[in-house]
Structure 1
Amino acid sequence: MSLRELAAAGGVRVGAAVSETVFDTGDETYCSLLAGEFNSLTAERAMKWMWIHPEPDRWEWAANDGLVQFAESHGMQVRGHTVVWPHWGTPPYITDCDDAAALRRHLVEHLEVLFAHWGGSVARVDVVNEPLHWLEGRLADSVWRSLMGDDYMAEVLTLAHDVDPTIELWINETHNDIVPDKHELFTKMVADLVERGLPLHGIGVQGHQLYPDFSPAPPTPERFHQVVNTYADMGLEVAVTEMDVLAHPTDSDRLDVQARIYGELVDAALSVEACREITFWGVSDAHSWVDEHFGPDRAPLLFDREGQPKPAYHAVAAAFASRARRTPTG
């Protein structure tokens, strides 16, 4: 069975991040794997503010529409990514804004046009992405925080919900599974939003495992389960939204180690009933953001450069099969 079939049997989504540039290469193997193995799609960059709305009066819809059309043609759901991102992906007319009222107008206009264009074709959106510092337990500095205050996420959620109350609004964060003080602060922030009744549907735990190039070692399965369950206990849906695991070239058994990490962490997440999605940040090693940042020999995904399944694929498939066996539909 494909990952897509196993996920459907367990009542969950299995997704992949997709760069619109890959479609331009005509890589038929990539497109076949995407359609055959996944039932959810995330735009790697096509829906980020910088690419889709680079100037106040200019929208670039082609890449967005191509991904949505592909998803609709192959029975896939679409995860929108992302609206507010303090770190990156935001055009200068936003980052250079020095007036709070003007920033709010830009945000509302962006949400109105974006959500109207989607017209229900995008089921959920990471409306705020990475509000905290990458590896520290503190808020990231940004124009949103400086002009709208530390509580800007509450306002973003409210404004987005007012524009379209039918779309699921998510907050997506990275490395809160491996940086304890970051997890502690993020948990307090999310709990506060929930207690105040803000329109928050779910939390994305990204799941990038970039050890040893950038981040601490991967969490234990018990720790990963605990982190995912933290937000489930608040009544929220949870997803692992951007998973990849580096297979470091210095490890002689790197693909087996990678498979163990993938299998243990995916199984730990899916053992939480409220975890309804696992999305990998790419389809195959032939096209990955990791190459540019850490080198071309980290092999971070489930399929190799030729599109063949790696040991990690089989470990992940086993985890999805376990979820399916635990569900009534499975």
Structure 2
Amino acid sequence: MKRKIIHAGFWLFGILAFIGCKNNSESNEQDSSPSSVSESKQEKGLKDYYSDYFPMGVAVAPNSFEGESKDLILKHFNSMTPENVMKMGVIHPEMDRYNWEPADKIANFARENNMKLRGHALVWHQQTGGWIFEAENGNGKVSKEVLLQRMKSHIDSVVKRYKGTIYAWDVVNEAIADDSTQFLRKSDWYTIAGEDFIIKAFEYAREADPEAKLYYNDYNAIIPEKRDRIYKLLKMLVDRNVPIDGVGIQGHWSIYGPSEEELRKAIDMYSSLGLDVQITELDVSLYPWEKEQRELKPGESDEFTPELEQKQIEKYDMFFEVFRDYKDVLTGVTFWNISDRATWLDRYPVAGRKNYPLLFDENFEPKKAYWEVVEFEKEND
């Protein structure tokens, strides 16, 4: 506590100095009280706890920047990924028409608030807008040459528009087959253009923005059999000098897996290729993995029980312990949605089944799992 002293003799100075010291002591004691420490911790966001490790990101929509969700984004995150509005079917719904407004809103928010922005996703087998594969005369599919030309036009337009704002792109998304007996997914991209669609996508993206980091992004990238096929693809791209900078591990995990050993092994393998690694779509479901969409079965519970909560806490704790250990190769962690109030897992794979996969609850408050994730900092506070 500072005081302005008016000279009126040493006795007055001494008295005031004594009072000042006493008040300072009382102030310091108050500041170090448990309640004040707790308030201080509340002022810190997730990004602040991990400022020495990697950016903390979140998937957003244009309507995310309102009310409490906006406040939560600004407090806890320093990176964002557009969940849907930069996918081809949304941003480029017809050959000669682009829908820029939703994506522009996110890009503008990132610039205004000095946040990093990832682009998602340039080439994917879903949400494409079927026009890109269709011959103009309506007679079947386009040729490989036409498809690659359309791809280049799309990548040029989108990447150049956000050049200088988007620092990294998921260039190709989910090209590995789910069927373990196959290598690449038999999508229209592959059946028309073969593996060249992957190579060319990265080349076109590099030409459009030489400064952007270019990623391959996929789910189940920790499961050994799919991990090995993803590694095979990445090694092929690296060996052929294709301009790829990193791999995005979609962290759509659950309280049932992956194991710590599987997670460490996958990060080791991918980073051994000289690639950056990011966790791009993190959530921790309360339910085992399912691929096919279905309805909620009679009697099937979606209650967030204390037992499920504890298992989720333990998984989040383990995941982030591993992430911190790999801070030298891990260049970002992005959660897929903001809070349990609204998550894509409420709709998929089981329609109408509520899930609670994130660190913030339905009221945008930190869950117990959140405090476990930042617990490593407690001893340094």
When normalised by structure 2's length, the TM-score is 0.77
Partner of 1:48: 87
Partner of 2:259: 220
Moved more, 289-298 or 235-244: 289-298
The 3-state SS of whatever aligns with 2:172 is strand
Aligned pairs (5 A) from 1:142-161: 142-161=187-206
1:294-315 Cα deviation digits (max 9, x unpaired)? 3442111110010010122122
When normalised by structure 1's length, the TM-score is 0.89
Report the alpha carbon displacement of residue 135 of structure 1 after superposing the two structures with TM. 6.4
Contact 1:135/1:175 (8 A) holds in 2: no
Contact 1:40/1:76 (8 A) holds in 2: yes
The whole-number CA distance in structure 1 between the counterparts of 2:104 and 2:97 is 16
Aligned pairs (5 A) from 1:167-206: 167-178=212-223, 180-206=224-250
The 3-state SS of whatever aligns with 2:235 is helix
Report the alpha carbon displacement of residue 161 of structure 1 after superposing the two structures with TM. 1.3
Aligned pairs (5 A) from 1:293-308: 293=348, 294=350, 295-308=352-365
The whole-number CA distance in structure 1 between the counterparts of 2:56 and 2:111 is 16
The whole-number CA distance in structure 2 between the counterparts of 1:186 and 1:234 is 12
Q: Which residue identity does 1:16 align to in structure 2? A: V
Partner of 1:114: 158
Matching residue within 220, 223, 230 for 2:269: 230
Contact 1:22/1:287 (8 A) holds in 2: no
Structure 1 runs (4+) deviating above 4 angstroms are none
Moved more, 122-131 or 248-257: 248-257
Q: Taking structure 1 as reference, are residues 95 and 269 closer, same or farther at Cα in structure 2, changes over 3 Å only?
A: farther
Contact 2:176/2:183 (8 A) holds in 1: yes
Contact 1:158/1:198 (8 A) holds in 2: yes
Report the alpha carbon displacement of residue 266 of structure 1 after superposing the two structures with TM. 2.4
Q: Taking structure 1 as reference, are residues 134 and 191 closer, same or farther at Cα in structure 2, changes over 3 Å only?
A: same
Aligned pairs (5 A) from 1:1-330: 1-10=44-53, 12-23=54-65, 26=66, 28-86=67-125, 88-96=126-134, 97-134=141-178, 136=180, 138-178=183-223, 180-210=224-254, 217-248=256-287, 249=302, 252-272=306-326, 273-293=328-348, 294=350, 295-318=352-375, 321=377
Cα RMSD between the aligned structures?
A: 2.1
Q: Which residue identity does 1:7 align to in structure 2? A: Y
Q: Taking structure 1 as reference, are residues 288 and 219 closer, same or farther at Cα in structure 2, changes over 3 Å only?
A: same
The whole-number CA distance in structure 1 between the counterparts of 2:359 and 2:211 is 33
Number of residue pairs the alignment of both structures matches = 313
The whole-number CA distance in structure 1 between the counterparts of 2:207 and 2:173 is 19
1:245-277 Cα deviation digits (max 9, x unpaired)? 113546541112111111211221331220111
Unaligned runs of 5+ in 2: 1-43, 135-140, 288-301
Report the alpha carbon displacement of residue 73 of structure 1 after superposing the two structures with TM. 2.0
Higher relative contact order (CA 8 A, sep 6+): 1
